Structure 1
Amino acid sequence: MFHPPRDGASQTNGGETILDKREANWFQPKQPQTDYGDMVLLAAPDQKRYLIKLTPRQTLHTHLGSFAHDELVGKTLGTLISSQMGNEALMLEPSLSDLIRHIRRGTQIIYPKDAAHLVQRLNLRAGNRVVEAGTGSGAL
C-alpha cells in the first residue's frame, strides 16, 4: 500500500521518501534496563529457570555459581550474565506463564462465612453427603 509523504519527510536522490531521523526513532523499541524491585528470569543452558526479584545486597546461588543482584541491576534484558564461576545465564523478562508457575502459594482456609456461602449456593440440606477434596488445610 502506498502512502504519500508526510510533513517532515524528505526525498533521497532516487526519489524515495524517508522520514527524517526525529520521526524515524519513534518505532525503535527501547531496551529495558533492570532496576531494584524488578522481576527477572535467569535461563540456564540446561533449561533450568530462576525467577528472582532484584534486591540490594542479595545473591542467587545456583549450580552455575552465584549471581549478585547488584551486578544485574542496570543491565539490558536479553543479555548473557556471567556467574562468579564463569558460567552464563540469559537474563529475560518473565512471561505471565513464568510468574504463575513460580508464584508461592499458601494454603487457603475456608472461613465460616465462606463455608455458609458454599452451603447456600450448593443447596445443601441436613442428611446430604459432602465430599471434601483439595481444600488446602482441610479446615472446612
Structure 2
Amino acid sequence: MTYPVWPAELPRPERNTWSRTWADPRLKRRGETGPPRWRRRFSAVPQTVSLSILLSRWQVAVFEQFWENQTRFGSTLFRMPDPTTDGWALLTPTGGPLLTPEGQPLLLSKLWTVSFGDEAPVQSVVGIEFRFSFSIVVMPS
C-alpha cells in the first residue's frame, strides 16, 4: 500500500510549539501491600506529536489540498519526514559535521508513518502568515 507523502513545499514545524509524548504502555498492578508494580499492557507504543507550522498564502493551499484530498480530511495514514532527524547533518564524535570527499555534509534521513491526531488542524492568522496547529500520531516502527 502506498501512503500519501507530506508535501515538500511545507516548512519544518515551529520549534516553540513542538512537543512529543508516548502512549503509556504500562498497566499498574496493586498488591495488598507494598508499592505499586507495573507490567506492559501493549508492546507497540505510538507517540503523539503536537506541532504548528507557519505558512504563506500559497502554502495554505498546499496544506489544505493535502488535508482534504490526500489524507481524506485526516482519515488516512501518510508519510512525513521526522523533523528532529531528517535533513540534519551527521556529526563526528567531536560534534563537527561528517563530510563527503567533495566537502558536503552527510545528512540524516528518517520518515515516519503518521496519522493526524484527534482534533482537526486549527488555523490562526499571524500578520500576513497563517499558523496551523495540529497533532499527529507516529506509528510504531
Give the TM-score taking structure 1 as reference length.
0.22
- Rg comparison, structure with higher value: 1
> Greater helix share, 1 or 2?
1
Identify the structure with the greater strand proportion.
2
**Taking structure 2 as the reference length, what is the TM-score of the superposition?**
0.22
